[in-house]
Amino acid sequence: MKKYFALKQHLHKALLWGAGLFAFIWLLVRSGQNPKRLAYPCQQTAFPLASAWFLVTTGFFTSLFSTKNLKIKIAVLVAGFFVIAGGGYYVYTKKFPPVPKVQTPLTWQTENPVSKVFLLQSIQEEKKSLNNPESSNIPLEYLSDKPMDDLFELMRKNGLDIYKTAANTNGLIPDNAIVVIKGNFQWDYRLGTNTDRIKGLIWAILNHPEGFKGEVLVCENTQYEGRGIGDNTNNSFDPEQSIADVTNAFKNKGYKVDLVNWTKLNEIAVNEYTEGDYTSGYVFEEQTKLSYPKFTSPYNSKISAKNGVWDENTNTYDSSRLVIINFPVLKVHSIMGATIALKNWIGLISLANLEERFGDYETMHEKYFFSEYALPARSMAQTFPELTIVDATWISFMDNYTNWNGNFIHAGMMLASTDPLAVSWYASKHILTPVALSPENANPDGQGSYGTIFNHFVNYLRDSTHFVCTTDSTKISIITY
């Protein structure tokens, strides 16, 4: 019996040591290139175990050298080398499988489509960076982005112009608009929206044919202050070109462009302007659990994401002046299966006071976000974007948090639609699913994670709102060059 308990005790220690080794390698893999990732929840969970393993192992090898038996020293060192090397190889090969090849996606057109999805393929990167402390001296030609220009030209030739003018009242953006670009900067490197593509979007807006008199605001609300915003590892030709570099380059040339970090507003509960509250923050509706930002822009415009631009002279909202553009990056998501248009709208929701509002973090996701309640879809119904652009220049095929190059494929694509459901369905079905490590979880028509959760979003937006949207392929046209 004593031998049994002794063996059980040794086995328990061996398992703890192995778990510590795994946690240590995991930290090296995830945070070795960027120590700031140690602040991420998964890293904080692994850190105590990895630290304990490191201290115990270091102490063991230190005490080992006090022995005079050379054979024991050599045997332990060799065994340790093979264990660590073997563990590292196992983690690396399991975590980083071979990168799949992107296939040319299927395209088609239908007669009288409900929704159009515009697909730009074969994006070629331009060697033009706005990462320059002397950004006021950056040449004007550096502000444009050919892929974005090509996408808008494709849209214009097929009946959708981004410019609203006297001659084209069906355009999307009037010359006096406050344009809010909702990017995806929850994570850094290629897990965030491509800053070159956003640069091109801003420049296109500023070149409104009737002269642009409004503002362009790039906005995001991340779980942690500053994550993915102003980072030195970005999704762009020049990894040093952050979204802050992009907005500063325009601002320093005198354009009304800026970066608004909604994360700073998360904890501030406010009422609407109609109630005399001019404080910037988040309006929260207890009954529906909906929340949205209400804020003053750096150029003193008063904006409600739900109601529009506030006019202090008439005490009314002008919803026609607020244009929201949804700009997610296409990637696999570890919980939802895929991150596209609807998932990106979680960034319009305040995550403050979770326990008081939702119960806890898990309940918030399981009961409200990813259930039939479909809170992100309800949020989008309140703040529906005029245009959704999906950045598929680079896509992650494994998860939404691994920043090693082995997680990314250069797809060289970009998509756009006024229908966030149609563009999400197509991007996940015909671009992401064929290359995803777990295709069953990325398929919008399957029974996996994305198929199940996306279906909740579809049901709400299609059946409970007046918005024109569909995921029926017979009612969608995929338009490309």
Task: Output the 3-class SS for 188-203.
Answer: CECCCCCHHHHHHHHH
Cα–Cα distance between 375 and 340 in angstroms, integer?
Answer: 15
- 308 lies in a domain? yes
Helices 146-157 and 195-206, interaxial angle, to 10°? 60
- Picking from 156, 153, 260, 249, the residue whose alpha carbon sits closest to that of residue 196 is 249
Asked whether residue 18 falls in the same domain as residue 163, the answer is: no
Asked whether residue 36 falls in the same domain as residue 78, the answer is: yes
Q: DSSP secondary structure string, 34-101?
A: -GGGGGSHHHHHHHHHHHHHHHHHHHHHHHHTT---HHHHHHHHHHHHHHHHHHHHHHHHHHSPPPPP
Cβ atoms of 470 and 426 within 8 Å: the answer is no
Asked whether residue 133 falls in the same domain as residue 232, the answer is: yes
- 404 lies in a domain? yes
- 222 lies in a domain? yes
Environment class of residue 437 by beta-carbon count within 10 Å: exposed (0-12), middle (13-18) or buried (19+)? middle
Q: Which residues contact 314 (CB under 8 A, 6 or more apart)?
A: none
Asked whether residue 250 falls in the same domain as residue 370, the answer is: yes
269, β-bridge pairs: 282
Asked whether residue 155 falls in the same domain as residue 88, the answer is: no
User: Domains in the chain: how many in total?
Assistant: 2
DSSP-derived pairing of the beta strands 408-417 and 115-120: antiparallel
Last residue of a domain, one of 40, 66, 95: 95
Asked whether residue 155 falls in the same domain as residue 302, the answer is: yes
Residue ranges making up the domain that contains 372: 115-479
DSSP code for 432: I
DSSP-derived pairing of the beta strands 387-396 and 408-417: antiparallel
Asked whether residue 74 falls in the same domain as residue 148, the answer is: no
- 457 lies in a domain? yes
- 100 lies in a domain? no
- 21 lies in a domain? yes
Environment class of residue 263 by beta-carbon count within 10 Å: exposed (0-12), middle (13-18) or buried (19+)? buried
Q: DSSP secondary structure string, 246-260?
A: HHHHHHTTT-SEEEE
- 213 lies in a domain? yes
Asked whether residue 333 falls in the same domain as residue 184, the answer is: yes
Asked whether residue 474 falls in the same domain as residue 353, the answer is: yes
Cβ atoms of 50 and 24 within 8 Å: the answer is yes
Helix (H, G, I), strand (E, B) or coil at 444: coil
Asked whether residue 158 falls in the same domain as residue 70, the answer is: no
Cα–Cα distance between 477 and 384 in angstroms, integer?
Answer: 21
The tens place of each residue's pLDDT in the chain, 481 residues long, gives 555 445 545 455 566 666 777 677 766 655 554 554 554 455 555 666 676 666 666 666 665 556 666 766 676 667 666 666 666 655 555 556 777 888 899 999 999 999 999 999 999 888 899 997 776 788 999 999 999 999 999 999 999 999 999 999 999 999 999 999 999 998 889 999 999 999 999 999 999 999 999 999 999 998 766 566 777 789 999 999 999 999 999 999 999 999 999 999 999 999 999 999 999 999 999 999 999 999 999 999 999 999 999 999 999 999 999 999 999 999 999 889 999 999 999 999 998 888 889 988 889 999 999 999 999 999 999 999 999 999 999 999 988 888 878 889 999 999 999 999 999 999 999 999 999 999 999 999 999 999 999 999 999 999 899 999 999 999 999 999 8
Last residue of a domain, one of 36, 64, 95: 95
